[in-house]
Amino acid sequence: MILKMAKIAIAGPKGLLQDVLALLQELNTFQIEPCTAGIMEKVDEGSIRRFLIDESSLAERLYLENIRAGIDELFSYLPQLPFRTSYIAPLAIIDVIAKALPRHIATSKELRAHGEELQKELAGLRQHALFLDTLVPLLAVDGQAKELDFIGLEIKNASVIEHLRGLLSSLTDNRFELASTASPDNKTVVLITIDQSLSEKVRTALGSEHIPELEFPSSLSGLSLPAKIAYARKRLADLSSEIKGIDDQLRVFASRWLPIYQKVLDWVNDRVVLLKATASVFETRMCFFVHGWMPAADVAGVRKKLGQAFTGKVVLEEKEVREEDLDLVPVALRNPPYFQPFEIFARLLPLPKYSSFDPTLFIGIFFPVFTGMILGDAGYGMILMAASLFAARGFRKNNNIRDAARILFVSSIHTTLFGILYGEYFGDLGHLLFGLEPVWLERRTSILPMLYLAVTVGAFHVLLGLVLGLVSACRKKAKAGIACKILNLLAVVGIIAIVVSLFDIFPDLLTRPVIIAVLLLLPFLVFTGGLLGPLELIKNIGSIISYARIMAIGLTSVFLAYVANAFAGMTGNIVVGIIVAILLHAVNMVLGVFSPAIHTLRLHYVEFFSKFLEQGGKRFEPFKKTVKGE
């Protein structure tokens, strides 16, 4: 439900402003309203002006914001490690931290940059090492002669080798050796061995054929191929140990300083938020004045705490929430434990306005009932109940799954109850095996009664929505809105009465006067609601008929269950029959969870909430500390 809010004004001597704001921040229940519209009286506007921050506060804010930026930069260089909570008082060490911070940033930045450089070199060298390692067996054959030169190539397509062989043959008069092998990264490594006197010529020819020679890092340049291999192996080992050393240094530094810096950062954040809040404060010649909102239930507690802390020098006054304030009032939702899981459905909608209703309550009441009416099978209900209990136990720490499991549990209870009423236990299995009969009606054969039931439920739901819409209009004291809602309500009731008279429930004698009354209401609907007034009436009737889906989707579920049993019987083998039945019932159950849930939500969002819910509320965001419990 939407918490009742109080419009609050707090005033006191200017010297106490920072302390008052600090206390309000600690209490975490007051939202400061930076705008004066609708809150400040016209007569007071001349004597009250926006609070001007003094030089020392401004200097403090800049100093703290610099520290905050510095700590953020330092954190970007340090590894993310779990760290202990520090209990050091930040205020006592803030100046020491401010002095040490630039040095720590420089050291960490340098270490991080050096580490990244080494990582880059390591990655490059690893790639070349892969190539060189592939060459080692080839080199074992050719590497003995000192006057030979080696050219390494890495090619993607092995078919190029034949072309390469032809090219080398013409260039060197067959005085070459070409060996190739597949590298671990699915490329082909080629080693060309030629006389040193021919190397320049071959390299030029390879260049003109767009076959690039593998380029080695600068650290390997000038070395022969065997020397390159030896050097790469040694350098790889050195780089790994150097990188590990840098990581260790950063880890040691982080484990020593992260708790302290985090503590200081939290304190700095709170302090900056507090200093920024002074921009929303007003002042007179002697006093400060701050206004905003807090839950009405907290007003007495806050007043008492202000009285105790400032010995009556600071005054809290609760003001009347006027009609024109209703759009400004922030909205906070708080529901009893049963309804809390259903907030995940309400969160799909924008926040309701303060003068409207919390949709959670209605979803919590009607969602399980409608889902149960649609699925309505005691066997499915009990399996879903077990599944929901298992999910709730298995995923205690995952809030979304836990909430979904709770919703499923409540819905499965309704599914079981309606299943008993309909006499459905895995379709007609209960009837076939144990002779179980429906307590109320059998859905498979009672199609029209189910349709009437579904539409009747729809009529009740839509009328409830219209009544809530009327209450909402009354709260806002919107006369045209109230008249339009009343006329719509009367017209819908009249049309329902006319339809009911077709079934001899409503006396025939009254049918004609009711028709005339509904026709007479139409011009008034145009007067109060404009041209859209009668359209709204048609929409309401359409909404009621839309509830026929409760019967329609339910019927598909029933028939699928019957088909599952019939198929199982047709197999002629008990084991195969059981497997087929389990599979088909499982499919039906999965459909039976999603389809009713989606359609029930749709009935709420489109048919029900459109009658009364006003969206576009502002979320209640109290002035609070960044870290709780500080």
Is residue 142 within 8 A of residue 177, CB to CB? The reply is: yes
Instruction: Output 389 or 601, the one with its CB closest to another protein.
Output: 601
User: Could you tell me the smallest distance in angstroms from the CB atom of residue 544 to another protein?
Assistant: 12
Instruction: Output 79 or 350, the one with its CB closest to another protein.
Output: 350
In angstroms, the CA 430 to CA 565 distance is 11
Instruction: Output 217 or 449, the one with its CB closest to another protein.
Output: 449
Sites for another protein among residues 538-557 (CB under 8 A) = 545-546, 548-549, 551-553
Size of the site for another protein (CB under 8 A): 18
Instruction: Output 136 or 598, the one with its CB closest to another protein.
Output: 598
User: Could you tell me the smallest distance in angstroms from the CB atom of residue 347 to another protein?
Assistant: 8
User: Could you tell me the smallest distance in angstroms from the CB atom of residue 629 to another protein?
Assistant: 30
Listed residue (111, 135, 64, 384) closest to 250, CA to CA: 111
User: Could you tell me the smallest distance in angstroms from the CB atom of residue 541 to another protein?
Assistant: 12
Instruction: Output 345 or 380, the one with its CB closest to another protein.
Output: 345
Is residue 358 within 8 A of residue 350, CB to CB? The reply is: no
> 193 has which bridge partners?
150, 177
Q: What is the CA radius of gyration of the chain?
A: 39
Instruction: Output 267 or 609, the one with its CB closest to another protein.
Output: 609
User: Could you tell me the smallest distance in angstroms from the CB atom of residue 345 to another protein?
Assistant: 8
User: Could you tell me the smallest distance in angstroms from the CB atom of residue 501 to another protein?
Assistant: 18
Sites for another protein among residues 426-455 (CB under 8 A) = 447-448, 451
Residues 6+ apart with CB under 8 A from 443: 376, 422, 424, 450, 554, 555, 558
In angstroms, the CA 549 to CA 10 distance is 54
Q: What is the dihedral of CA 606, 611, 615, 617, to 10 degrees?
A: -140
Beta strand pairing call for 188-195 and 31-32: unpaired
Instruction: Output 419 or 554, the one with its CB closest to another protein.
Output: 554
User: Could you tell me the smallest distance in angstroms from the CB atom of residue 595 to another protein?
Assistant: 9
| String marking each residue 499-538 x if it binds another protein according to CB under 8 A | ----------------------------------------
Strands (E), 119-187: 148-155, 176-182
Q: How many angstroms separate the Cα of 382 from the Cα of each of 260, 331, 425?
A: 54, 39, 10
Q: Is 349 helix (H, G, I), strand (E, B) or coil?
A: coil
Q: How many angstroms separate the Cα of 323 from the Cα of each of 66, 291, 473, 529, 621?
A: 44, 18, 12, 21, 22
In angstroms, the CA 51 to CA 277 distance is 10
Tokens 């922030």 identify what position?
330
Q: Which two tokens stand for residue 214?
A: 């593998």
Instruction: Output 272 or 541, the one with its CB closest to another protein.
Output: 541
User: Could you tell me the smallest distance in angstroms from the CB atom of residue 496 to another protein?
Assistant: 17
Instruction: Output 463 or 548, the one with its CB closest to another protein.
Output: 548
**Helices of type H across 218-354:** 225-277, 299-310, 343-346
Q: Which two tokens stand for residue 51?
A: 């609070």
Is residue 268 within 8 A of residue 68, CB to CB? The reply is: yes
User: Could you tell me the smallest distance in angstroms from the CB atom of residue 352 to another protein?
Assistant: 16
| String marking each residue 449-488 x if it binds another protein according to CB under 8 A | --x-------------------------------------
**559 binds another protein, rule: CB under 8 A:** no
| String marking each residue 337-376 x if it binds another protein according to CB under 8 A | --------x--x----------------------------
Q: What is the DSSP secondary-structure string of 450-475? A: HHHHHHHHHHHHHHHHHHHHHHHHHH
User: Could you tell me the smallest distance in angstroms from the CB atom of residue 451 to another protein?
Assistant: 6
Q: How many CA atoms lie within 13 A of 325 on its CB side?
A: 20
Instruction: Output 411 or 528, the one with its CB closest to another protein.
Output: 411
Instruction: Output 260 or 451, the one with its CB closest to another protein.
Output: 451
Instruction: Output 567 or 605, the one with its CB closest to another protein.
Output: 605
Sign, CA dihedral 97-100-103-107, equals: negative
Instruction: Output 69 or 538, the one with its CB closest to another protein.
Output: 538
User: Could you tell me the smallest distance in angstroms from the CB atom of residue 289 to another protein?
Assistant: 39
Q: Which two tokens stand for residue 69?
A: 């930026």
- Residue 42, H or E segment: none
User: Could you tell me the smallest distance in angstroms from the CB atom of residue 559 to another protein?
Assistant: 12
Is residue 472 within 8 A of residue 359, CB to CB? The reply is: no
**Number of residues written out for the chain:** 630
Q: Residue 454 CB: number of other CB atoms within 10 A? A: 24
Residues 6+ apart with CB under 8 A from 117: none
Q: Dihedrals φ, ψ of 53, to 5°?
A: -70, 135
Listed residue (246, 254, 212, 224) closest to 121, CA to CA: 246
User: Could you tell me the smallest distance in angstroms from the CB atom of residue 488 to another protein?
Assistant: 21
Instruction: Output 413 or 451, the one with its CB closest to another protein.
Output: 451
User: Could you tell me the smallest distance in angstroms from the CB atom of residue 300 to another protein?
Assistant: 39
Sites for another protein among residues 593-622 (CB under 8 A) = 598-599, 601-602, 605-606
Q: Which two tokens stand for residue 569?
A: 């019987």
Residues at the site binding another protein, with contacts judged by CB under 8 A: 345, 348, 447-448, 451, 545-546, 548-549, 551-553, 598-599, 601-602, 605-606
